């Protein structure tokens, strides 16, 4: 049992000063003033002294086994460890495979997801990877989603990218229909999370899929849509048609033909497109490569989940209200992924809680009712983490 006192709650809507009683990994009670608790409960108390308390961030695009591999086996990125997520306020992740869906497969992905669950994070994943036919455990996407608990969608399936399988419209529709039906059967997300490269075709394949099929727009979930400015304009129009688009919090140079995550979200709000149809993810553990004209890697960086908290701080510094910015990191993601106990602070919801300082920096993190970060210091680490990891 844990009593969280004096929290300025954004759920993500502002609720004002609240106390919360947490037990069994859930929020059991919330109100203006907690009653006295009997000693037999042995409840610990966390006093936030008026700091803002928000739902834990849901990072919907994470390479939990590591990514990369485009420049040889030595360029394969190691798997991020637990505190790489939690110290950035991330309490839930969705893992996936990228370019390398051969040396790293679905078995390793499911094992990595289950390992994070054992260490206290909430974690799910997508079947498949960049390529078609999709990497699966059972032989079909539909069966993977039906029988493997942690798999909730397909992705990241690459389009408009020289590393993709160059999928045709029929191939995309076949995968999307399998995923959609599996979602109906199981109550899972049932989405196809689409990696967008910087190719000139952009989102044309998705537009044609919407025009020529009966599949609902929510099935198609393009990510990295801020990597080119014209691509982002295309993505906004898809959001108007019912797709949920995903902005990536990767580094963007001042002279680059791209939008930073903060720039993209501000522009999305200004467009008037539905605010519930945009999310922000980090590409944590993934390689962020640059390619030369021959398609060879000439430089690379590595994504990290802390980019979500950095983006939120930037938005707040630019005058965006916390309650306006938060849904893209919390409730919008939960709704897209059909995770009803995530993304909000409410009685009965999972106790995934993040406290912010005056500048929006992460000070305290509670995941599934357990303290992972207190006063800015990591207090719960992964199995193989050292004090300096």
Structural domain boundaries in the chain? 2-54+342-378, 57-337
Closest alpha carbon to 199 in 222, 175, 173, 171: 222
Q: Provide the pLDDT for residue 305.
A: 87
Q: How far are the Cα atoms of 172, 197, 256, 284 from residue 226, in angstroms, in the given order?
A: 22, 10, 11, 16
59, 144, 283, 352: which one is catalytic? 283
Q: Provide the pLDDT for residue 69.
A: 63
| Shared fold status for 2-54+342-378 and 57-337 | no
Q: 289-321 b/e with 16+ CB inside 10 Å = b?
A: bebeeeeebeebebbbbbbbbbbbbbbbeeebe
Average pLDDT per 10 consecutive residues for the chain, totaling 389 residues = 96 97 96 85 91 98 84 80 96 94 91 97 97 94 97 96 95 98 98 96 98 98 97 98 97 93 98 98 81 63 87 98 98 98 98 97 97 96 77
Q: Provide the pLDDT for residue 387.
A: 57
Closest alpha carbon to 181 in 137, 205, 213: 213
Whether 283 sits among the annotated catalytic residues: the reply is yes
In this structure, are residues 357 and 363 in contact, taking their beta carbons and an 8 Å threshold? yes
Closest alpha carbon to 124 in 354, 364, 333: 333
CA end-to-end span of the chain, whole Å?
29
Q: Provide the pLDDT for residue 292.
A: 58
In this structure, are residues 61 and 98 in contact, taking their beta carbons and an 8 Å threshold? no
Q: Provide the pLDDT for residue 386.
A: 74
Architecture of domain 57-337: Alpha-Beta Barrel (3.20)
**Pairing of β 90-95 and β 57-62:** parallel
Q: Measure the CA angle with vertex 34, ends 32 and 39; round to 5°.
A: 175
Give the CATH fold of the 2-54+342-378 domain. Urease, subunit C; domain 1 (2.30.40)
């Amino acid at each position: 049992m844990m009593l969280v006192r004096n929290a300025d709650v954004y759920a993500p809507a502002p609720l004002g000063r609240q106390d919360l009683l947490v037990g069994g990994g859930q929020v059991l009670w919330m109100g203006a003033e907690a009653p006295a608790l009997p000693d037999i409960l042995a409840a610990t108390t966390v006093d936030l002294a008026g700091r803002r308390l928000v739902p834990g961030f849901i990072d919907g695009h994470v390479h939990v086994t590591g990514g990369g591999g485009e420049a040889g086996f030595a360029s394969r990125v190691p798997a991020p460890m637990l505190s790489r997520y939690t110290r950035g306020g991330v309490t839930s992740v969705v893992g996936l495979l990228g370019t390398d869906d051969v040396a790293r497969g679905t078995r390793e992905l499911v094992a990595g997801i289950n390992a994070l669950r054992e260490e206290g994070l909430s974690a799910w994943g997508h079947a498949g990877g960049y390529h078609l036919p999709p990497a699966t455990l059972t032989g079909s996407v539909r069966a993977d989603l039906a029988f493997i608990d942690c798999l909730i969608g397909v992705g990241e399936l690459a389009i408009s990218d020289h590393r993709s399988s160059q999928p045709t419209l029929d191939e995309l529709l076949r995968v999307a229909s399998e995923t959609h039906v599996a979602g109906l059967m199981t109550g899972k997300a049932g989405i196809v999370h689409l990696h967008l490269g910087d190719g000139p075709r952009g989102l044309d394949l998705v537009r044609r899929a919407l025009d020529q099929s009966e599949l609902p727009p929510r099935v198609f979930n393009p990510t990295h849509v801020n990597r080119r400015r014209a691509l982002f304009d295309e993505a906004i129009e898809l959001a108007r048609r019912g797709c949920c688009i995903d902005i990536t919090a990767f580094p963007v140079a001042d002279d680059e033909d791209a939008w930073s995550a903060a720039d993209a979200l501000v522009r999305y709000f200004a467009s008037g497109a539905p605010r519930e149809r945009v999310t922000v993810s980090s590409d944590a553990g993934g390689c962020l490569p640059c390619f030369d004209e021959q398609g060879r890697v000439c430089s690379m960086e590595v994504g990290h989940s802390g980019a979500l908290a950095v983006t939120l701080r930037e938005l707040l510094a630019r005058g965006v209200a916390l309650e306006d910015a938060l849904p893209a990191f919390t409730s919008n993601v939960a709704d897209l992924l059909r995770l009803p106990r995530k993304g909000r602070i409410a009685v009965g919801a999972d106790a995934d809680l993040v406290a912010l300082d005056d500048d929006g920096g992460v000070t305290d993190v509670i995941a599934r009712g357990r303290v992972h970060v207190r006063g800015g210091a990591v207090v719960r680490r992964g199995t193989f983490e050292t004090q300096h990891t």
